[in-house]
Structure 1
Amino acid sequence: MSAESWILPAVSIHRISVGGMDNNVYVITGLQSGEQVLIDAADDADAILALLAEGARDAAPGTAKTAQTPALLVTTHSHWDHIRALGPVIAATGAKTAAGRDDAGDIEVPTDDLLDHGDVRQFDGFELQVIGLRGHTPGSVALLYRDSKGPAHLFTGDSLFPGGVGNTQKDPNRFARLLDDVATRVFAVLPDDTLVHPGHGAGTTLGAERPHLDEWRARGW
């Protein structure tokens, strides 16, 4: 199980990989409030609960929020490998759930908060912007955290990886839609130092990937 952490002025971010498909799970914790958001309860509920507890330890002493009570569990898209621990983590924490509007119907656990492109969700001490990236699934979403003192952090699910966009099963229409969304909603508006946190494997930056957009379009995947 690989792990990484980022301690920023207002939040901490912790990542672990779980399961046989190297799925990434992220927890964002507000340092002054202890409020948390979990992204993709992919597998191994016990490891995810431990990740929440690790993030909670970053918060200022005496904060009202406590470990294992995240404000929201966000699912970036409906594929089975990203939701295997969703039910057990909800049962253990009582947290509300969120997912893209057009994916929610394919998630077995009910979705409390339907997300649309351009939405902003406010938490105690930080906010996350929703970016719709259609194509890998109809309702895939990315989440953007803008750090006031450093590069932005973009959680892309399976829509953007080092070396290309997510799998669209060789469907040219789905691929074109996903690449168009990535180009116009991500690369056209965010700077090169933006950190990309994908749903599997290692991260990257927009600057590392930007020179290859035309190459991806030409190859068709």
Structure 2
Amino acid sequence: MAYTGRVSPGGDPDVRELSRLTVTKVAVDPEMSNNCYLLRCATTGSQLLVDAADEPDVLLRLVGDDGLTAVVTTHQHWDHHRALAAVVAATGAAVVAGTPDAEPITEQTGVEVTRRVDHGDTVEVGTCDLEVIAIPGHTPGSIALRYRDPEGHDHLFTGDSLFPGGVGATFGDADAFAQLIDNVETRVFGTLDDDTWFYPGHGDDSTLGAERPHLAEWRERGW
């Protein structure tokens, strides 16, 4: 069946086969319905997990016997790293996070962030490169990961910085919202094409082309 990106906690994962990278999306925790993404290099079999949000048993079944090289935590909020300690203990994976969020993640989880990344850095999954896009606003160290498919369009893992219908929550902080919408406009919509498919931290996927017409509306409403 074709990939849709529609998953629900307790349900089956959805799998997307790209030419050099496989994306497996699963939702965990019925209350928060966090998305987690297992990325697998088709050439080497190396695997990377985006957000060990919850339910480590579910995530470790996805990982299987082939191991895990790294877990990227997109930002410091508690619902995105509840399974981090268990997954790292079981796999020995490196822990990657945006520099400003690294210490809070360690304080909350007890897990050391072994690699701190900043805008423009690269995270490898086997022979595939993921470009770090820093998008402060939802949290100071929020990051997205861009995969440039050499045989297709871009793929972007946005954490809680961008969703279908708007940017992430800034909890009434007008300065944080301005920072977030500015960075989403310049570093995401200002750089990537409309056919870029993005994978958020909760809910369904979308494309930049579907969301671009609404940017002014988002800025006007302030959330």
Q: TM-score, normalised by structure 1?
A: 0.92
Superposition deviation, residue 9 in structure 1: 0.7
Identify the residue that residue 4 of structure 2 maps to in structure 1: none
CA distance in 1, matches of 2:16, 2:62: 13
| CA contact 2:39–2:125 (8 Å) conserved in 1 | no
Superposition deviation, residue 4 in structure 1: 1.4
Superposition deviation, residue 168 in structure 1: 0.2
Identify the residue that residue 135 of structure 1 maps to in structure 2: 137
Identify the residue that residue 167 of structure 1 maps to in structure 2: 169
CA distance in 2, matches of 1:34, 1:122: 12
Identify the residue that residue 87 of structure 1 maps to in structure 2: 85
Output the amino acid matched with 1:73. Answer: V
Identify the residue that residue 215 of structure 2 maps to in structure 1: 213
Superposition deviation, residue 162 in structure 1: 0.4
Matched, 1:123 2:125: yes
SS class of match (2:32):
coil
Output the amino acid matched with 1:146. Answer: R
CA distance in 2, matches of 1:5, 1:123: 17
Q: Which aligned segments of 4 or more residues in structure 1 are displaced greater than 6 angstroms?
A: none
Q: Of 71, 74, 77, which aligns to 1:73?
A: 71
| CA contact 2:132–2:146 (8 Å) conserved in 1 | yes
CA distance in 2, matches of 1:97, 1:122: 13
Q: CA RMSD in A?
A: 0.9
Superposition deviation, residue 121 in structure 1: 2.0
Matched, 1:100 2:98: yes
SS class of match (1:102):
helix
Unmatched 5+ stretches in structure 1: 54-65
CA distance in 2, matches of 1:101, 1:117: 10
Q: Deviations over 1:26-80 (max 9, x none)?
A: 0110111000110000000010011112xxxxxxxxxxxx52x211100000100
Identify the residue that residue 154 of structure 2 maps to in structure 1: 152
Q: What percent identity do the matched residue pairs reach?
A: 51
Superposition deviation, residue 179 in structure 1: 0.4
Q: Of 19, 31, 36, which aligns to 2:42?
A: 31
Q: TM-score, normalised by structure 2?
A: 0.91
SS class of match (1:167):
coil
Matched, 1:10 2:45: no
CA distance in 2, matches of 1:124, 1:219: 42
